[in-house]
Amino acid sequence: MSGSDLQFTVTPGGQLHGEIRVPGDKSISHRSIMLGSLAEGVTQVSGFLEGEDNLATLNAFRMLGVQIDGPHDGNVTIHGVGLRGLKAPTEPIYLGNSGTSMRLLAGLFSAQAFDCVLTGDASLSKRPMRRVTVPLEKMGARIETSEAGTPPVKIYGGQKLSAIDYPLPVASAQVKSSILLAGLYANGQTCVTEPAPTRDHTERMLRGFGYDVQSNGNRICVQGGGKLTATNIDVPADISSTAFFMVGASIAEGSDITLQHVGINPTRIGVINILQQMGANITLHNEREVGGEPVADIRVQSAHLKGIAIPEDQVPLAIDEFPAIFVAAACAEGETVLTGAKELRVKESDRIQAMADGLITLGIDATPTEDGIVIQGGKMQGGVIDSHGDHRIAMSFAMAALQATDTITIRDCANVNTSFPGFVKLANTAGLAISQ
């Protein structure tokens, strides 16, 4: 198993203190490279997340003939080639562990003049792609996947795309974004209707690059045939990475930490809403808008958490943060119930099963259900956890050690670098006793 040689060892106890800034938002970093490459002119990006997933996107566009300077300390300069300026790659494009890259690029590449093949690592090669290939084929794209609908994804060039009006069967920002990116090239107005709100970074950034996006409630439309104009982007700190520290500070008595310049996009703040409902002491300061995205400094002080029934309307707003939230639930008084989160079973791992297994290993009563989990708060022991190569599971169980009675060892942690390079160093600075 890749990365199985890298493990985290976390000593129990401690508390989190100080002011820290976690790395840049992964979703916004991906999109800055994609749209900057397709824009006319030079785009400057600061705060870019230099994680493996985002570097996979950056390297993909280099393979398509885009000159990209950096990243140097989060600064990237993209020399845009315009919507029609990409060149054919000479080999398959390898996207590592990044489902976002693969699904969004499938939409973008459906409208190009050339063929291309998208591949990924063992985890990505098991993830479902039909959710994007089906609507793209309705637009006129020609795409092949494995018989199971998984990567590699082969996209045939030279297809004329027509606009569609597509109701999303599942709330998914990746599917929405894939269709909208294809819609930039389609003949007519492409519209997507969401069953529940999902992150809207694509729409916000398209507008930032001067492209008209119509949003009317849960319906989002773009007209094909426009152009993108280069701009400057300051990427806020990633709320998904911040979530580990929010949970850690909430569960570790005596903690008081401030997380700086965090993106608080309303489509992403489920983790704050859920933790506050559980009784967390979280306050927002210095709220402002940077490059079309709302940001704030988030102060978290330890609190006595209580179990809750997690409202289903918060699920799409916290879909990536549930591994961390489950750790909060394990430390809360009483029962926490999650429903309506079937999507968690097809992430980098089956996050429901993997988290339940890990919590049970640590002595917590956790019962997975088809679309969620039931967790009884209790006292966490030590133990050995298998992260299944999933970065969010590894970091969640690292924070669990703050409340554990013995050492927690987490296996297969190499993929933490996909979203949070420097996690161990920053966590140690804040007060977690972690080594690798």
Please identify every residue annotated as catalytic: 320
Token pair of 36, please?
């900057």
d(CA 237, CA 398): 20
In the sheet that holds 189-193, the strands lie side by side as 165-167, 189-193, 219-223, 213-216
DSSP, collapsed to helix, strand or coil, labels residue 436 as coil
- List the structure tokens of 203: 């729409």
Q: Could you tell me how many helices (H) and strands (E) the chain has, helices first?
A: 13, 23
- List helix spans (H) across 285-350: 322-330
Chain CA centroid to CA 149, Å? 22
The secondary structure of the chain, three-state, reads: CCCCCCCEEECCCCCCEEEECCCECHHHHHHHHHHHHHCEEEEEEECCCCCHHHHHHHHHHHHCCCEEEEEECCEEEEEEECCCCCCCCCCCEECCCCHHHHHHHHHHHCCCCCCEEEECCCCHHHCCCHHHHHHHHHCCCEEECCCCCCCCEEEECCCCCECCEEECCCCCHHHHHHHHHHHCCCECEEEEECCCCCCCHHHHHHHHCCCCEEEECCEEEEECCCCCECCEEECCECHHHHHHHHHHHHHCCCCEEEEEEEECCCCCCHHHHHHHHCCCEEEEEEEEEECCEEEEEEEEECCCCECCECCHHHCHHHCCCHHHHHHHHHCCECEEEECCCHHHHHCCCCHHHHHHHHHHHCCCEEEEECCEEEEECCCECCEEEECCCCHHHHHHHHHHHHHECCCEEEECCCCHHHHCCCHHHHHHHHCCCEEC
